[in-house]
Amino acid sequence: MTDSGPRRGRLLVPLLSVLFVPLWASGFIVGTIATGEMAVPTVLLCRFVIALAVMLAVAAFVRPALPRGRAWLHLAVTALLLQVGQFTFVYSGLSAGVPAGLSSLIMGMAPLLVGLLTPLLLTTRLGVAPVLGLLIGAAGVYVVLSDELGGGAGTAAVFPLLGMFSLAAGTLYQKRFNDETPIVTSVVVQMATSLMVTLVAWPLLGAAWLPTSAAGWGAVAFLGVVNSAGAFALLFVLLRLRSTVHVSALLNLVPATTALAAVPILGEELTVQALLGLAIALVGMYVGIGRLPWRRRTPERRVAARA
């Protein structure tokens, strides 16, 4: 008898966590490209259609259970927060000229808000390590692009701010009400809800139905398959396997990751702030998930870490 099964289980969360950060950060980079090629409603429509098609194909293969009763309503509310609200605001900001880095910086405040609200709205109890880790991570988020705060984004910066509140509220709502819903079912229903909301509002939006350039098609394909279906499936898996605190610690790494990726892809300058902020955010993540060097991992703490 070998312990390969438990070993694979121990490796699963770290592997998914490593994959989650660049997938989530890619939304700001590719979102900048997409909103430069087409109107925001077109980006949203294509994103939801492609993501729904991908997840329906997955659902046809795995055949997950359908939601019951109020679960349908909870999934619809989560869709309005995590999908429609968050991305409408983020893409509107990018389209209005808010830099991808500054958008990710503002959105990077969501983990601190989620972490601090978790013990008030959920059953998860925060110890010293998660709070300290979240504060360190928030400091890293600020350092990453502190020079952007005076960069003249102006009133358009309110868009990613509203997106940040939508992300925080949606993360907490997903954990509170949808944690027992199969992952594939959750993503399918949320994408379908988001698509229906977009189509209902379409006569008022005055946007083109489809991209008109190869770059536009490539951007929305990536957003639909990778950043939407893939990243949100990973988000819900991590919320189920761990807590909102763990996910918040990972999200602290997104601004620095975005800033680093923007150098070769968008031609932005690599700054000292990005490197320093990434280092600080890494420390915050390490501390926040309970890896303090002076703490012994007792069985009770191991159970708490998995809560």
pLDDT at position 79 over 80: yes
| Range in 72-76, 85-89, 182-186, 197-201 the model is least confident about | 182-186
* pTM for the predicted model, two decimal places: 0.77
Banded model confidence at residue 92, pLDDT cuts 50, 70, 90? very high
* pLDDT number for residue 126: 58
Contact at 8 Å (CB) between 83 and 191?
yes
What is the distance in angstroms between the CA of the first residue and the CA of the last residue of the chain? 28
* Residue 275 CB coordination number (10 Å): 15
Q: How far apart are CA 272 and CA 279, in angstroms?
A: 11
pLDDT at position 119 over 90: no
Q: How far apart are CA 224 and CA 227, in angstroms?
A: 6
Only one residue has tokens 């189920």, namely 240
HSE at residue 148, side-chain half, CA atoms within 13 A, is: 27
DSSP letter assigned to residue 148: G
| Range in 50-64, 110-124, 165-179 the model is least confident about | 110-124
* pLDDT number for residue 301: 47
User: Which structure tokens are listed for 83?
Assistant: 């999908």
Candidates 63, 67, 64, 85; CA nearest to 75 is 67
Q: How far apart are CA 98 and CA 223, in angstroms?
A: 19
pLDDT at position 304 over 70: no
Give 179 or 19, the one with higher predicted confidence: 19
Residues in the chain: 307
Q: Please tell me whether residue 5 adopts helix, strand or coil conformation.
A: helix
Mean pLDDT of 248-259: 78
Contact at 8 Å (CB) between 16 and 238?
yes
* pLDDT number for residue 1: 45
In the chain, the percentage of residues whose pLDDT exceeds 70 is 81
Mean pLDDT of 19-39: 91
pLDDT at position 56 over 90: yes
